[in-house]
C-alpha cells in the first residue's frame, strides 16, 4: 500500500503522447514529484483533487512567449499571467533577451517567476524592444555574433535557441544578411534557429519591390534539421502560402530535411491559410501562443493614427494557448497530436525530453488540467473571420513542481457563445 502522498489527483483523463497513455488515472504527488500513476489510488491521508471529466496533461509548454516584462516595453507580459495562472508551466521567450539583456531576464525574471522560463536569445543586440515599431534597430549593424555566442554559451541552462526574423520589410533593407548571421550564431551554439515569417515592417519605398515568394525560396536553404519556421498560418506576405494561393514546394523540402513548424499564433493566424497548409499535409510540431502586449489588449487611447494603422498587431482578437488548441481541433487535428504540440514536442525542442513533456513516475509534478467544454462557441482569426465550434479548451489549473495554481489569469479570454 502506497503511503506518503501529499496530493492525489483523482479521476482525470490523462493524455500523454510521450508514453501513449490515454485513459482515466489517478496521479499521486509527493515532495513535488510524481509518486504514482494508477487507475485508482488511495489518498492515504493526502489532499485530493477531483478531476473527473477533466483532461490531464504534462505541464504545458508555450514555445512562443513574450514575457520580458518591463524591459521590452509594451511587448512583455507578466510571465505568470501567461504561465501558471493560465495553466502553462513553462514558457520559451522568443527573442526578448539579447546578449546585452539576458542577465536581467535570468536573474530577475526567471528567479522570481513561478513559471519556468527559457529563451531563444535574440540575434539582435536590442532583443525584443518593440522592434515592430523600430525596424532600423534590426539590421546587420545591430548584430554582434561573437558577443551573442559568448553570452549564450555562458547561459545554456536557460538559452535553448536563437531568434531572428525573415520578412520582406527587412529584406528590402538588408537582404538576407541578418538571417545568415543568425544561422552562424545558431551553428556555433549547436542550437536551433527560430525564424519569424510574415511581413512585420513596411518595405522601403525606394528600390525594387520585394518579392515575398522569393524570400522564402532564399530562406529555406539556409535552415537545417531542428531549426524552426514560425507563423505557417500567417495572412501576411512572405509565409508558407504563395501569392498564387498554394503552399511553396520548398516548404516541403525543408520539412523533409527536419525543419520544424511552430504555429506562433499571435497576430499571424488565418483560418483560410491554416486550412490550406494543413490540407497540404503539413502538421505543426509545436504550438506557441505568441501573446504580447500588443495583441491581447486593446491599444491605449492617444496613440498617433499613423502608428495604429502601420502596426499589424493592433486590433487582434483575444486568444491564448488553449484558444489556439481549440482552433487546431476545429481544423481537424486529433487530440493526441494537439496535446503533443504543447507537451512532448516542445520538450524535444528544449532538449529536455528527460525532464519535461510527459507524466511519468519520478519526474517533477508539472501537470496541466483542462476542460473541454461542449456548446457553440465563436472563434475569430486575425482577419476577422468567424468560425463556430462545438468544443472549447479551457485551462482549469496546473501544478508546477507539485504546487497548485488556479487558472485565474485576466489574460484568459472568456468564451464567446454563438
Which residue positions form the known binding site for Zn(2+)? 64, 66, 163, 196, 231, 290
C-alpha cell at 207: 528600390
**CA–CA gap between residue 164 and residue 150 (Å, rounded):** 18
Residue 74 DSSP symbol:
G
**CA–CA gap between residue 287 and residue 228 (Å, rounded):** 12
SS3 96: coil
Give the CA distances from residue 407 to residues 37, 80, 396, 399, in Å, rounded to whole numbers and listed in that order. 23, 10, 5, 10
**CA–CA gap between residue 406 and residue 120 (Å, rounded):** 28
Which positions make up the binding site? 64, 66, 163, 196, 231, 290
Give the CA distances from residue 208 to residues 165, 171, 203, 218, 373, in Å, rounded to whole numbers and listed in that order. 20, 11, 10, 17, 51
**CA–CA gap between residue 81 and residue 79 (Å, rounded):** 5
**CA–CA gap between residue 370 and residue 398 (Å, rounded):** 9
C-alpha cell at 310: 502601420
Amino acid at each position: 500500500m502506497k503511503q506518503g502522498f501529499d496530493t492525489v489527483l483523482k479521476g482525470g483523463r490523462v493524455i500523454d503522447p510521450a508514453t501513449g497513455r490515454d485513459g482515466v488515472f489517478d496521479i499521486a504527488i509527493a515532495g513535488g514529484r510524481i509518486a504514482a500513476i494508477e487507475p485508482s489510488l488511495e489518498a492515504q491521508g493526502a489532499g485530493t483533487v477531483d478531476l473527473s471529466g477533466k483532461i490531464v496533461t504534462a505541464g504545458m509548454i508555450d514555445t512562443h512567449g513574450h514575457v520580458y516584462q518591463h524591459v521590452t516595453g509594451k511587448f512583455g507580459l507578466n510571465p505568470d499571467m501567461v504561465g501558471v495562472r493560465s495553466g502553462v508551466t513553462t514558457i520559451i521567450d522568443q527573442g526578448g533577451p539579447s546578449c546585452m539583456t539576458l542577465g536581467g531576464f535570468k536573474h530577475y525574471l526567471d528567479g522570481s517567476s513561478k513559471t519556468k522560463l527559457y529563451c531563444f536569445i535574440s540575434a539582435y543586440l536590442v532583443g525584443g524592444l518593440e522592434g515592430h515599431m523600430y525596424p532600423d534597430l534590426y539590421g546587420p549593424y545591430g548584430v554582434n555574433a561573437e558577443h551573442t555566442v559568448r553570452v549564450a554559451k555562458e547561459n545554456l541552462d536557460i538559452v535553448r535557441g536563437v531568434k531572428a526574423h525573415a520578412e520582406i520589410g527587412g529584406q528590402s533593407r538588408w537582404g538576407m544578411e541578418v538571417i545568415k548571421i543568425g544561422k552562424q550564431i545558431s551553428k556555433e551554439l549547436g542550437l536551433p534557429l527560430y525564424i519569424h515569417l510574415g511581413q512585420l515592417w513596411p518595405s522601403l519605398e525606394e528600390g525594387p519591390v520585394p518579392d515575398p515568394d522569393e524570400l522564402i525560396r532564399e530562406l529555406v536553404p539556409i535552415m537545417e534539421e531542428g531549426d524552426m519556421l514560425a507563423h505557417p498560418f500567417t495572412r501576411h506576405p512572405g509565409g508558407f502560402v504563395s501569392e498564387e494561393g498554394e503552399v511553396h514546394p520548398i516548404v516541403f523540402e525543408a520539412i523533409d530535411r527536419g525543419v520544424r513548424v511552430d504555429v506562433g499564433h499571435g497576430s499571424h493566424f488565418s483560418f483560410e491559410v491554416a486550412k490550406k497548409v494543413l490540407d497540404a499535409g503539413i502538421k505543426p510540431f509545436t504550438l506557441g501562443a505568441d501573446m504580447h502586449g500588443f495583441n491581447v489588449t486593446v491599444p491605449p487611447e492617444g496613440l498617433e493614427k499613423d502608428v495604429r494603422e502601420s502596426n499589424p498587431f493592433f486590433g487582434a482578437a483575444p486568444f491564448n494557448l488553449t484558444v489556439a488548441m481549440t482552433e487546431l481541433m476545429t481544423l481537424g487535428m486529433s487530440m493526441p497530436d494537439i496535446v503533443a504540440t504543447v507537451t512532448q514536442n516542445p520538450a524535444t525542442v528544449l532538449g529536455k525530453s528527460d525532464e519535461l513533456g510527459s507524466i511519468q513516475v519520478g519526474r517533477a509534478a508539472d501537470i496541466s488540467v483542462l476542460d473541454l467544454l461542449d456548446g457553440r462557441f465563436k472563434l475569430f482569426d486575425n482577419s476577422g473571420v468567424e468560425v463556430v465550434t462545438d468544443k472549447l479548451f479551457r485551462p482549469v489549473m496546473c501544478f508546477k513542481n507539485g504546487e497548485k495554481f488556479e487558472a485565474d489569469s485576466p489574460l484568459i479570454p472568456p468564451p464567446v457563445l454563438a
